[in-house]
Structure 1
Amino acid sequence: MVRSAMFKKILSEIDTKEQDLSLGDTSLIEQSRIMIALLQEILVRVKEQVGISGFTDVIAEIEFFKEVKPMVLGKLIYYNNVYRIETTCPVRGGKLYRKYFEGQLKLLKQHNASQLDMDFYRYYRSGRTDKDADYFLREQVHYATVLDSFYFEMDSQYSTYYDHLVARFIAQDLTYVYILSRIYPETPLNFGSLDIPDDLQWTGTKNALIELIYALYISGVLSHGKIGIRKVSLIFQSLFKIPLGDIHHAFHRMKDRAGKRTLFIDHLRDSLEEYMDKHL
């Protein structure tokens, strides 16, 4: 996936702030409040930029309304969800605490189930691109297909209706992982019903696995780059039944390595090339 300079800059700004907060000792409520303020400021900033500069072509416009704006707005909705949930939850620990988050998970699943029959939901989740011009160009909105009246209150020069739906999907994914982490704080999560062999183990180091996770996330090859680093990490922890702890802190240590910083990725490349050379 080729990303524009605008997208890369915004991603970098958000990721850097999230990583800085994760390394500090601020509460999740305070982290959410800070991220809400930052994301609101970014939305205002990019709206002004779009109003002044516009788009160079339809490809840039589609990227903005399919990738850039939904990513920022989706995270804003997510952090607002976290702030709301955390500021109303019972004291941590005990049955009441777990029951509260199980109730939040049930509400989230009910909301998600209401979208499963949407043609657009299936289109987006499948990673298709053939109808992007219909969904993500501002002049292409078909009013007969608009299901929510909130569209008519939007700025038509800054919205396509479907960009808001994508933001909702992103927020739901992030919120789902967050709620599960509260219900099962010490237990690797089980995604899906794959028949995973009991003897499947990660026999490399934890740092090697974290390096692989970040490489896959940053390259955007998983779910077209729409899946967050936390969810990718949880999936690998579940698959290999291995707790990784604070992956952001581990990643920062990798960045400060002397010499080669991508030891495991380099090892993978060298091993593959050696195998290829032996089987010419």
Structure 2
Amino acid sequence: MEYSLQNIILEIHNQEEKILSQGKRFIDEAYEMTLYLQNLIFSVKKLITEQGFSNDAEEIHFFRTIKPQILGKLIYYNKVYRIETSCPVNNGEMYYGYFSTQLANLKREYIEHICNSDFYRYYQSGRTDKDGIFFKRGNINYHDGLNSIVFEIDPEFSTFFDFKVARIISNELLYTYLLTKINPEENPDMIIQKLENSKDIFWTDSKNALIELVYALYASGAISHGKIGIRKVSLLFQVLFRVPLGDLHHAFHRMKTRAGSRTSFLDQLKLSLEEYMDKDL
């Protein structure tokens, strides 16, 4: 098949970077990404319909990993657009109350429909022994009392459980988004907007490169003996270089699954430093 997990993640990331570079409002970014992801999933569906899968392993891989990445982001951006178009216009009490309510709703939905399910525990544990049941088409068991959404899915392009994985992905993204709305001290965008000094200090490489550096410093325990979380480490760099890094969790996931070196920026740093050292010899 033409699509692989690495290609899909890279394609979505490139589109996010392209839209972000245009300096548009987040509400406009969410709208454009919703349209883009909707078209992408239609294209992938057309490819699956025309070419099918060469074997069971390919089908399982698609419905466990590839499709949920697209659908999860689509659900996320569509929800963000709906939230942003309905929120109060200022940062006052109503504004924070609105986003606190959204977060409470998300947590309630998570408790009622996701975290207490056997499938959630199966997926989060990394098990694969039942993938042939969960991620192959035609295996839906209606005796399990499944959510009514099962009657609306296309059985040729869904196993129902791929939708559940997409919901897990979208919920994680929404949780991070809502936290930054109700905790302004952890929202890099708001801090960056308030900074007036150090405008001559800015990051000139890609955001992926900075995220790679942030995770390396966090994983090594080089900052505060490793006693502060990844969010605070990233916030330091976002404020210093005046650049929002967005969703760290999924950026890190992209790093782990990208083709070639998973530490390309750190590799280049080492090479650059060694070349610089050689100049003094």
Deviation at 1:209, TM superposition (A): 10
Alignment of 1:119-268 (within 5 A): 119-187=118-186, 211=209, 213-214=211-212, 236-238=230-232, 242-244=236-238, 245-246=242-243, 262=264, 264-266=266-268
Distance in 2 between residues matched to 1:73 and 1:186, nearest whole Å: 31
Work out whether 1:38 is the aligned partner of 2:36.
Answer: yes
Which residue number corresponds to residue 81 of structure 2?
83
Which deviates further from its counterpart, 234-243 or 71-80? 234-243
Cα root mean square deviation, aligned: 3.3
**1:268–1:39: structure 2 CA closer, same or farther, 3 Å change rule?**
same
Query: 1:129-155 CA deviation, whole Å, 9 max, x = no partner?
Result: 121111000122222225212212221
The unaligned stretches of length 5 or more in structure 1 are 190-205, 218-233, 250-260, 272-280
Work out whether 1:105 is the aligned partner of 2:103.
Answer: yes
One-letter amino acid of the structure 2 residue matched with residue 105 of structure 1:
L
Query: 1:71-98 CA deviation, whole Å, 9 max, x = no partner?
Result: 1111111011100100000013111111
Distance in 1 between residues matched to 2:264 and 2:107, nearest whole Å: 38
Q: How many residues align?
A: 227
Asked whether the 8 Å contact 1:211–1:265 carries over to 2, the reply is no
Deviation at 1:248, TM superposition (A): 5.5
**1:71–1:84: structure 2 CA closer, same or farther, 3 Å change rule?**
same
One-letter amino acid of the structure 2 residue matched with residue 237 of structure 1:
R
Asked whether the 8 Å contact 1:116–1:122 carries over to 2, the reply is yes
Distance in 2 between residues matched to 1:59 and 1:262, nearest whole Å: 30
**1:116–1:77: structure 2 CA closer, same or farther, 3 Å change rule?**
same
Which deviates further from its counterpart, 236-245 or 166-175? 236-245
Distance in 2 between residues matched to 1:177 and 1:47, nearest whole Å: 29
Asked whether the 8 Å contact 2:213–2:266 carries over to 1, the reply is no
Distance in 1 between residues matched to 2:38 and 2:234, nearest whole Å: 37
Residue 246 of structure 1: SS of its match in structure 2?
coil
Distance in 1 between residues matched to 2:17 and 2:185, nearest whole Å: 21
Give the structure-1-normalised TM-score.
Answer: 0.71
**1:26–1:208: structure 2 CA closer, same or farther, 3 Å change rule?**
closer
Query: 1:224-248 CA deviation, whole Å, 9 max, x = no partner?
Result: xxxxxxxxxx962325762424256
Asked whether the 8 Å contact 1:212–1:264 carries over to 2, the reply is no
Distance in 2 between residues matched to 1:129 and 1:270, nearest whole Å: 42
Residue 56 of structure 1: SS of its match in structure 2?
coil
Distance in 1 between residues matched to 2:235 and 2:149, nearest whole Å: 43
Give the structure-2-normalised TM-score.
Answer: 0.71
Distance in 1 between residues matched to 2:132 and 2:42, nearest whole Å: 24
One-letter amino acid of the structure 2 residue matched with residue 51 of structure 1:
T
Distance in 2 between residues matched to 1:6 and 1:243, nearest whole Å: 32
The unaligned stretches of length 5 or more in structure 2 are 189-202, 216-227, 247-262, 274-281
Asked whether the 8 Å contact 2:214–2:233 carries over to 1, the reply is no
